[in-house]
Amino acid sequence: AVNRTPLIAGNWKMNLDHLQAVAFVQKLHWTLKEAKHESESVEVAVFPPFTDLRTVQTLLDADKIDFALGGQDLSAHDSGAYTGEISGQFLAKLDARYVIIGHSERRQFHHESDEVVAAKTQAALRHGLVPVICVGETSEDLEKFGASAVPVGQLEVALEGVASDADIVVAYEPVWAIGSGQAATPDQAQEVCAKLRAVVADKLGADAAARTRILYGGSVKSGNIAGFMREPDVDGALVGGASLVVDEFAAIIRYQK
């Protein structure tokens, strides 16, 4: 992770309403402050449900809390007759910096194809958002094709037509490791993350590959984060379950290599 600011991202999924979000963000902020967390060295991002975003934005702004904000998804379209969808321009207006795209739960429960993920990546970039592009293999994929073939293929499609100077984040999330308590080993994560970096180099060039942060996600906890962060091609973590527990998420942010 030479010269790349580590990113610890908390995907809340469908948890915490806007009132619970206020209490959570304040508690996390104070926990990190008490421990003298150096916010320069690690970037912290939270991804609340859409209905929380305005409230969390106001709180971050009012209390000068240095967490980045992100959406958990966005529409591939900019506006119009798409009932229930959220445009990237709405997220950008709320000072969201990031948006998660192609999370395995979207791919599984909402049948999002690689092409939809690519269209959403373009939508994010059109509105100045940094797409956090999620890729990863299921346990069946792992058995049939090994660990890297599916995530590499998914990323190749997502990066189609992306400019070489685009600001993107990639998250390698083996589906079998998400919410299962069975994380990949640091070696496994490194192997796939290195291959994903090679895809970025191939599609966007060497500079982009050197600059782009690649996260590992899947049952990250305070007890295993350091091992991942020691790997040269792992630049942070996308955290689900453990991002909802203040002390646990704070300990992940304060990992020591």
Residues belonging to the active site:
103, 173
Q: Can residue 219 be called a binding residue for ligand PEP (CB under 6 A)?
A: yes
Cβ-based nearer residue to ligand PEP, 190 or 219: 219
Q: Of 58-66, 78-86, 158-166, 236-244, which part binds ligand PEP (CB under 6 A)?
A: 236-244
Q: Applying CB under 6 A, which of residues 48, 71, 236, 241 lies at the interface with ligand PEP?
A: 241
Q: Rounded to the nearest whole angstrom, what is the least distance from the CB of residue 241 to ligand PEP in the complex?
A: 3
CA 49 to chain centre: 14
Q: Rounded to the nearest whole angstrom, what is the least distance from the CB of residue 239 to ligand PEP in the complex?
A: 5
How many Å is the maximal CA-CA distance in the chain? 51
Q: Can residue 217 be called a binding residue for ligand PEP (CB under 6 A)?
A: yes
CA dihedral (191, 229, 253, 199) in degrees, to 10, reads -40
Q: Can residue 179 be called a binding residue for ligand PEP (CB under 6 A)?
A: yes
Q: Can residue 173 be called a binding residue for ligand PEP (CB under 6 A)?
A: yes
The torsion angles phi and psi of 237, rounded to 5 degrees, stand at: -140, 145
Among 111, 107, 99, residue whose Cα is nearest residue 75: 99
- Count CB atoms within 10 A of the CB of residue 246: 18
Q: Of 142-150, 151-159, 222-230, 233-241, which part binds ligand PEP (CB under 6 A)?
A: 233-241
Q: Of 20-28, 118-126, 144-152, 172-180, which part binds ligand PEP (CB under 6 A)?
A: 172-180
Cβ-based nearer residue to ligand PEP, 107 or 208: 107
244 beta partners? none
| Alpha carbons 30 and 256: distance in angstroms, whole number | 20
Q: Applying CB under 6 A, which of residues 44, 238, 246, 252 lies at the interface with ligand PEP?
A: 238
- Region at 13 (left for phi over 0; alpha for psi -120 to 50; beta for the rest): left
Cβ-based nearer residue to ligand PEP, 11 or 59: 11
Q: Can residue 169 be called a binding residue for ligand PEP (CB under 6 A)?
A: no
Q: Give the binding-site size for ligand PEP (rule: CB under 6 A).
A: 13
Query: What are the DSSP calls for 223-246, one per residue?
Result: TTHHHHHTSTT--EEEESGGGGSH
Residues 6+ apart with CB under 8 A from 138: 150, 175, 176
Query: Is residue 67 classed as helix, strand or coil in its secondary structure?
Result: strand
Q: Which residues bind ligand PEP (CB under 6 A)?
A: 11, 173, 178-179, 217-220, 238-242
